[in-house]
Amino acid sequence: MFNTTAWNRIRYGLYAPVYDLVAERAFRGARRTALGQVTWQPGMRVLLVGAGTGLDLPWLPRDVELHATDLSPAMVSRLGQRAEALGRDVQAGVMDAERLDYPDDHFDVVVMHLILAVMPAPARGLTEARRVLKPEGQLCVMDKFQADDRPAGLARRGLNAFTSAIATDITRQARPLLEAAGFVIEQDTPVMMGSLFRALLARRAKGE
């Protein structure tokens, strides 16, 4: 199995110089829609998990406190450059999304764009997101997902052995993942390629 943390760190370090050419224009509208579903308030503490080169930064309010993490040092370096160019103060660092170095109940908003379909153990990543999110906080997800009402077929699972090694998992289902991690989905909006890419807004389930 090639979808490991070590392999992801290597390959995204290699992708970093050309990542914006592939992902900036293609996902611009989807990012704006996803972030537009969040109920923003001045002074919120916000965490971008798997922030990449910082392509979400232009679409975030300027009156919030921004933190960002990524597994790849090369991505974090480019994020820092983008933040400086935009005049944004971002506390960014290299970090594994499955082992976040933040205290419990720390953030008002956690953003996970194009990471749940990439990380080796998305359930652990969501558990960490829930841990660092305040009880009334918001989780903003945008990614590609298999339909919730049916699992991936044999052909899709076979293709996934290839796509998960070089790009992304194409068999993961949003609702089962988020609900199993203790989230309640409040908004679920198709944003690209029919319903393949979806923007979801969720909160911690009561008692979680």
Q: Which residues fall within 8 angstroms of residue 182, CB to CB, at 6 or more apart?
A: 127, 130, 204, 205, 208
Please give the pLDDT value at position 1.
47
Please give the pLDDT value at position 164.
59
Q: Mean pLDDT throughout 175-185?
A: 97
Separation of alpha carbons 32 and 56, rounded Å: 8
CB 52 within 8 A of CB 19: yes
Taking only the tens place, the pLDDT of each residue in 67-117 is: 999 999 999 999 999 999 999 999 999 999 999 999 999 999 999 999 998
Written as six digits, the tokens of 160 are 């996934």
Q: Spelled out in words, what is the top-level CATH class assigned to the domain 5-203?
A: alpha beta
Q: Please name the residue that has the structure tokens 């679409």.
A: 59
CB 205 within 8 A of CB 184: yes
Distance of CA 166 to the CA centre of its chain: 18
Please give the pLDDT value at position 177.
96
Q: How many C-beta neighbours within 10 Å does residue 18 have? A: 9
Taking only the tens place, the pLDDT of each residue in 36-59 is: 999 999 999 999 999 999 999 999
Q: Please name the residue that has the structure tokens 């979808």.
A: 3
pTM: 0.90
